Amino acid sequence: MGKRPSKTILLIENDAEEARLVHEMVNGSISFVFELTHVESVRDAERYLTGRSVDIVLMDLGLAEPSGLESVRRVRAAAPRVSIVLLSDAVDEEIAVLAVQEGAQDYLIKGQIEPRELIRALVNSAERKTIEEALLLDKERAQATLSCIGDAVICTDKSGNITFLNPVAERMTGWLLKDAAGRPMSETFEIVDGITRRPILDPMAKATSQNRVGKLPLNCVLIRRDGYEVFIEDSVAPIRDREGQVTGAVIVFRDVTATRMLEEQLTHSAEHDFLTGLPNRMLLKDRVSQAIALAQRNAGKAAVLFLDLDGFKHINDSLGHQIGDKLLQTVATRLSACVRAPDTVSRLGGDEFVVLIQELERPEDAGTTAGRLLKTVTDVHLIDQHEIHLTASIGVSVYPSDAQDAETLIRNADTAMYHAKKKGRQMYEFFRPEMLIDLVERRSNDTAPSADRGPHGFSFRTTISRFKRRERPLGTG
């Protein structure tokens, strides 16, 4: 996905830390290229703007001298056609609103700025400035300018009736200008919250009545005339005449569905196992922590079941990694079918799976689930004309009796699984505190001198065996 054309920014900021944060957010944009120049005072900005042009001036409204509106007026005098975005402290928001009424395009509250919000404000302010200037020209030139803009543009008069749609807006809304002209904005621009599905009120009316820039929620969905839906980002601003009087409003918006899908894919990849699609260790720990918090609020229980396949390495070595991977995928599907919707099946890697049971009524219910899991694993697996027979061992730990946090709960289930495997496999074991004593004794015995031990007293055979089980590569047993 290529970046959009670059825009030049002059940052006026005398706080080095604030300037650094702006640099990081601007340079982190994946959709736009920005060329940013930093100066520390309005005087330096005036000198820089002499003989130079920039697309956007991003300035701190709290500069020492001059301060407030005077600083904005001096920048406006030095560069009448530049787009100005303000950085304001919360206590100075009223001054920022006045500055917007005097011609600044937008303002952001320091300490509350997200990178995505800053990028959107910068780009939209520059494009709104272009639109405002275009609307001061004759109608034909204005329409030609707006039709060339890559984003969708809709303009309304002071009454909220549509006066203009550019071709991009026609495609995104499904309305042609000849059909939409004169209609109320609400008839042609249907938007809802993507999560709650509640209608979002006409943003143009607010921009006109309050004479200030506005934005829609990040989860805003545009419903096209034919019912097709797209996620959009937008910015809304009043349109003023040469005397500064509000004559209408303009909204600039773009389809961000592909960007949102890419972000969701990246987030999913970071939290899920690539082979099975199950939650990975990171997401599992988060969900176990959430389940513990829920159990604490409701005085309930939760359980973790640690499952390890028996003899998987032999299957993998004899039939190949491709068959082994398909077998893991089949096991993942079967395990997922054995649990309820609120529960979680996770793959930690190799042939280790963890099942989280939320809102557990009785510890014995976790044993019932473990039995179902063992049964579904033992049912014959048909993989590429191979009949594969498989068993598993499961360890169970229960909150709050066995552990108070996610990491310990998972670790204790792992310890119990080891005891189940040690007892003969194809069975499950509940965690008991004495298992930890056995674990300490086993590790102590592992360090005792023997003929199989190296010069530092470690047992090569035992140590290698343990690490093979804990850190198997993909598809090994």
Q: Is the pLDDT of residue 323 over 80?
A: yes
Q: Is the pLDDT of residue 354 over 50?
A: yes
Mean of all residue pLDDT scores within the chain: 82
- The average pLDDT across 227-251 equals 82
What pLDDT score was predicted for residue 465? 33
What pLDDT score was predicted for residue 473? 37
Domains of the chain (ranges, CATH numbers)? 1-135 (3.40.50.2300), 137-270 (3.30.450.20), 272-470 (3.30.70.270)
Percent of the chain's residues with pLDDT above 70: 86
Q: Is the pLDDT of residue 79 over 80?
A: yes
- The average pLDDT across 70-99 equals 88
239 pLDDT tier (thresholds 50, 70, 90): confident
Q: Is the pLDDT of residue 460 over 60?
A: no
Q: Is the pLDDT of residue 450 over 50?
A: no
Radius of gyration of the chain (CA): 31
Q: Which residue has the higher pLDDT, 457 or 268?
A: 268
Q: Is the pLDDT of residue 316 over 80?
A: yes
What pLDDT score was predicted for residue 444? 60
Q: Which residue has the higher pLDDT, 468 or 77?
A: 77
- The average pLDDT across 371-394 equals 92
What pLDDT score was predicted for residue 471? 37
Q: Which residue has the higher pLDDT, 450 or 254?
A: 254
439 pLDDT tier (thresholds 50, 70, 90): low
